[in-house]
Amino acid sequence: MLLGNIDKDKDIKMKPDEEILALSVTNPRLFSIIFDRHEEKFRRKVKRILGDRSEVEDVLQETFVKIYLNAGKFKKIPGASFTSWAYKILLNVTFTQYKKLDKRKGDVDILKDELREVLPDKSMPDLASKELEEYVESIIKTLPENFGHALAEHFIKDKPQEQIAREEGVSIGAIKTRIHRAKEAFRERASKV
């Protein structure tokens, strides 16, 4: 039992993540509720990026440690929730690990484009999926307009590069360059959030 009283335990478990996180600052055992709620969906997301490898558990552990250590810094603001804040931490830790693996082995098993991995996982609950999508869109909005537009058209709207080139009246090479540069800018901005 977390608090020693079954009724209080049930009440605490019904609270939103934001409240439990705040309470966990003074009662660290409550953080296990956050862990239990998010562990599996976080694991799925990390596996989609890194593949099924032992480093997945390291990423999860580091993510939850960072969430807990930064609990006092979390502020609920309109349009952002605990879930979107926690996903930012998860993605930053995951991409840092990806870079380490890529430098060490050069053979990280991920999907063709890393950017697809930050898009919502269809197996996630709708709320988490929506929060992650908002996070991705918020970063895309900070990119130069032609980069953000090309990235959104290709990765979010799933348009082929040839179609985007036709619609923009530019060459396919120009679109490929925009998307490449946009991905680099996206990664850079995402790592700073």
What's the confidence (pLDDT) of residue 144?
Answer: 84
Domain chopping of the chain, boundaries = 6-113
> 62 CB contacts (<8 Å, ≥6 apart)?
93
Pair of tokens at residue 181: 């540069």
pLDDT of residue 133: 66
pLDDT of 132 higher than 70 = no
Please determine, for residue 111, whether its predicted confidence score (pLDDT) is greater than 50: no
pLDDT digits (tens, 9 = 90+) for 50-94: 777 888 999 999 999 999 999 888 877 776 688 888 988 998 888
Q: 112 vs 42, which has greater pLDDT?
A: 42
Cα Rg for the chain, rounded, in angstroms? 19
- In angstroms, the CA 75 to CA 131 distance is 16
Determine the pLDDT at residue 94: 86
- The fold of the 6-113 domain, in CATH, is Rna Polymerase Sigma Factor; Chain: A (1.10.1740)
pTM of the entire predicted model:
0.55
Most confident of 44-58, 59-73, 127-141, 173-187: 59-73
Average pLDDT of the segment spanning 31-41: 94
Say what the pLDDT of residue 103 is: 64
